[in-house]
């Protein structure tokens, strides 16, 4: 199916206040997060997927490896595979996160609800 509407996306809240909508393409996973101002930060972690964070509203601080930057609407970060990264909430924001290859452990992935 080449088109995905919001009602076809799987919803999930991987952390309190991180309201997500997810969908999976053959080789990629996409998440739209609407993050509350009081939501907890995302702990440092890494995974085998390349990940791109694109801020579409508000701001969020990302640490990628040894670098840290506050990204505002229109800015993006590219996180190479196996690179430690974390996110600190600075206020309410909306972020699109894309992963390659797809992350089947996220909602709607193979073996996951949805």
pLDDT value for 2: 87
First vs last Cα of the chain: how many Å apart? Answer: 16
User: What's the whole-number mean pLDDT along residues 3-15?
Assistant: 92
Domain assignment present for residue 88? The answer is yes
User: What's the whole-number mean pLDDT along residues 11-33?
Assistant: 94
Residue 28: band (very low, low, confident or very high) from pLDDT cuts 50, 70, 90: very high
Domain extent at residue 90:
31-99
Summarised one tens digit per residue, pLDDT across range 52-95 is: 999 999 999 999 999 999 999 999 999 999 999 999 999 999 99
Choose among 52, 54, 48: nearest CA to 83. 48
pLDDT value for 104: 79
Domain of residue 48, CATH code:
2.60.120.10
Domain assignment present for residue 17? The answer is no
């Amino acid at each position: 199916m080449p088109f995905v509407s919001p009602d076809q996306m799987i919803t999930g809240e991987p952390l309190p206040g991180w309201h997500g909508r997810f969908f999976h393409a053959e080789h990629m996973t996409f998440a739209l997060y609407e993050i509350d101002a009081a939501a907890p930060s995302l702990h440092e972690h890494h995974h085998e997927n390349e990940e791109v964070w694109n801020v579409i509203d508000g701001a969020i601080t990302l640490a990628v490896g040894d670098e840290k930057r506050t990204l505002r609407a229109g800015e993006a970060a590219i996180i190479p595979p196996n690179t430690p990264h974390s996110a600190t909430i600075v206020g309410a924001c909306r972020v699109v996160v894309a992963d390659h290859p797809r992350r089947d452990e996220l909602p709607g992935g193979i073996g996951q609800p949805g």
